[in-house]
Chain A
Amino acid sequence: MEQVLTRHFADDRYRHVDAYVETGGYAALRKALGMPKEEIVAEVKKANLRGRGGAGFPAGVKWGFLPKDLSRPRVLVVNADEGEPGTFKDRLIMSRGPHLLIEGIGIASFAMTIHACYIYIRGEFVREAKILEEAIAEAYAKGFLGKNILGSGFDLDVTVHRGAGAYICGEETSLINSLEGKRGWPRLKPPFPASIGAFGLPTIVNNVETISDVPWIVSNGGEKFAALGVEKNGGTRLVGVSGAVNRPGVYELSAGVNLRDIIYVHAGGIKDGKELKAVIPGGSSTPVLRPDEIDVTYDIESMAKIGSASGSGGVIVIPEGTCMVRALMVLMNFYSHESCGQCTPCREGTGWLATIVRRIEAGKGLDGDVELILDVCDNMMGRTICPLSEAAVMPAQSFIWKFREEFDRHIADRKCPYGNKF
C-alpha cells in the first residue's frame, strides 16, 4: 500500500524542515507555484479527495465555492480541533509530520489566492501546538512561508490559534466564531463560510488530514491519488482504532479497506481473545454496528448504505461482556456536556437523553423509558443549527435498535446485569 502521509513518521527528524526536504518535501509547493491555479484545483477534484473531518465533502468542490471576485481577501482555516471521541489521527500528523500540513497549506492557499491561514488546534494539544509553531518558524526561515515564497511573488502568513476545550468548535462555523474570540456557537447557513466566514471574509475550512494529502496529489497527480482508493473516495485514509483490540493505533489504509480487516488484520483482533460485541465505526457520532454488519468497505458510500458512516476514521471496538447501556451512558453524558446550549432541542434533548440512560443504568428506569428516548430523538433530528444534536441521536437510536434487549432487561430487572461497570 502506497503511504501518502505516514511513510516517514517513524523518523523523529522528519518533523523538522531539513529532514522533510531531504525526503522530497516542499517540491510539491515549488511545482504548484509554477502551475496555473485552476489546474491545481482540477487535480484535487480529480483526486476524489473527500474531507477527512467527518462530513466527507469533496475538497476540490468546496474550494470552488469561493466567490470569483478577489476584491475581499480570503482566509484558509485548518480544522485541527480533533475532538470526536475515537479520533486521534490529526494529532499524529501534527506531531510526526507537521511540514506535510504546512506544505499543503501553502499549495491550497496559492491555488485559492489566500494570504492568511489560521490553524485552529484544540487547546489540550499543547505539545502539538508547540511542534507546529516550531515547524512554522522553520518554514518561514527557509522561505516556504512569508513574503515572496520561493521567489514566486506569493505571500502567505500562518498563525496557530488554540481552542480552549469545546467539542462543538470542530463544527466549522462554531470554529470560526471561536477564532474570532467568541463563544463557539454555530452559525446559521447560509451564508456559507465560503462567502462570509472568518472576520466576515470568504473562508475555506479544511481538516488537517485533507490539507496534508494535497502535496502528494500535486506531486503525483489527482488520478493516481484517486486510484489509491475506491470510486468517489480517493486516496488513503488514516484510520484510528481504539478500544478492545490487540494493536490500537493509527493505520494508513486505502479508502476502500474492509472494516473487518481494519479490526482483525491491522489492529490485530480483539483483546484477550474475546469475541466482538459491537463497533462504532467512524467516531462516537456514527451509528453502532453489530458483528454481523462489519464485512463492509470502509468508504463513505458503502458505509452509508448500511446506515452508518466512516466519519472521522475513528473505529471504536467494543468487546463481549460490555454493558451497552453503560457505553451509551458515557456517550450521552459527553453530548450533554458538549451541547453549546444555543438550540433548545439539543440543549434540552441531550440533557434528557443522558438523564434517562443514566437512570436505566442505575436500575431506576421506568416502563416506557426506551420509547421516551426514541421520542426525544425524533424531536432532536433536523431541528437545530448544527449537527451536534444528530450526533447524539445517532448513537442513542442505533444502540436501542440493535441492543434493545439490554435496555429492556435493565428496566425489568431494576439493575444493571453487568454490575454497573465496564
Chain B
Amino acid sequence: MSVAFSESARREFEALFSRFPDREAVILPALYIAQREFGYVSGEAVEYLAGLIGVSAARIEGVATFYTMYNRKPVGKYHVQICRNISCSLLGAEHLIEHLSRKLGVKPGQTTPDGKFTLSTAECLGSCGTAPVMQVNDDYHENLTQEKIDALLDRLP
C-alpha cells in the first residue's frame, strides 16, 4: 500500500502547492505526475495523493475517473488515440480505425500482447483542419492516411 514517487516528483508537488491559492487545485496536475511516474494512476497513487493533499481518496478517485486522460490501468508503450468525431469521420477516420485495429490486432480499448500499443478512439482532438488526426502519447499526427500510419507505427522502437 505504498508508492515511491521520485525525488523530482516530490519537488514538483511542492512547487504546485505554491502556485494555487488552494491545496485541492493541485489534484489535476498531481494526477498527471502520478501517471508520468508509473504509466497510469493506480489505487496506491490515489491513496498517496489523498494523504499529500489532505483529502479523502474518494475525492481524488472522483476526479481521476471523471477525466478521460487519466489511465486507470496500465497502457502500452505507445498510446494511439484516433479521433472519431465529425470532421475526421468525413475524411475517412472510420476506415483508419479499422486499419489500425487490423494492423495492431486489437480493438479500441485494448493493448497488444507485447505491451507496445494501446489503441483508443478519442473525441475531437481540436485539429479538424488537418483531419484525420491521431495522438500517439503526447504527439499529434495529422492529415493521416493508411500509408502515413504504417510508416509511423513501423518505425516506433
**Residues of A participating in the B interface, judged by any CB pair closer than 8 Å:** 82-88, 91, 116, 122-127, 159, 161-167, 178-184, 199, 240-244, 248-250, 280, 284, 314, 316-319, 322, 327, 330-331, 333-334, 337-338, 340, 421-422
Contact = CB atoms under 8 A, between A and B. Distances in A.
B28 A248 contact: no
11 contacts: A123-B69, A162-B32, A164-B69, A165-B68, A167-B123, A182-B27, A183-B62, A199-B21, A319-B90, A322-B90, A330-B85
Contacts of A179: 25
A88 B127 contact: yes
Contacts of B131: 242-243, 248
B130 to A, nearest CB: 7
A127 B90 contact: no
Contacts of A161: 28-29
Contacts, number: 144
Contact of B128 (A85, A183, A331, A334): A85
Contact of B124 (A126, A317, A322, A334): A334
B129 A183 contact: no
Interface of B: 19-22, 24-29, 31-32, 62-63, 66-70, 84-87, 89-92, 94-95, 122-131, 135, 138-140
Contacts of B130: 248
B22 A199 contact: yes
Given A127-B139, A164-B69, 12 more contacts: A88-B126, A91-B127, A124-B69, A162-B32, A164-B68, A180-B24, A240-B128, A242-B128, A243-B131, A248-B130, A248-B131, A284-B124
B14 to A, nearest CB: 15
B31 to A, nearest CB: 7
Nearest to B128: A242
Contacts of A319: 90
B68 to A, nearest CB: 4
A243 B87 contact: yes
Contact of A124 (B63, B70, B85, B126): B126
A165 B69 contact: yes
B86 A85 contact: yes
A166 B68 contact: yes
A177 to B, nearest CB: 10
Q: Which 9 A-B residue pairings sit nearest by Cβ, starting from the closest? A: A164-B67, A165-B68, A181-B27, A242-B128, A165-B69, A242-B87, A126-B138, A85-B124, A183-B66
A422 B94 contact: yes
Given A123-B69, A167-B123, A179-B25, A327 B86 contact: yes
Contacts of B126: 82-83, 87-88, 91, 122, 124-125
Contact of A331 (B21, B86, B125): B86
Nearest to B65: A183
A180 B22 contact: yes
Contacts of B29: 161-162
B18 to A, nearest CB: 10
Contacts of B84: 330, 333
Given A86-B86, A243-B91, A166 B66 contact: yes
A86 B88 CA distance: 9
B135 A87 contact: no
Contacts of B95: 421
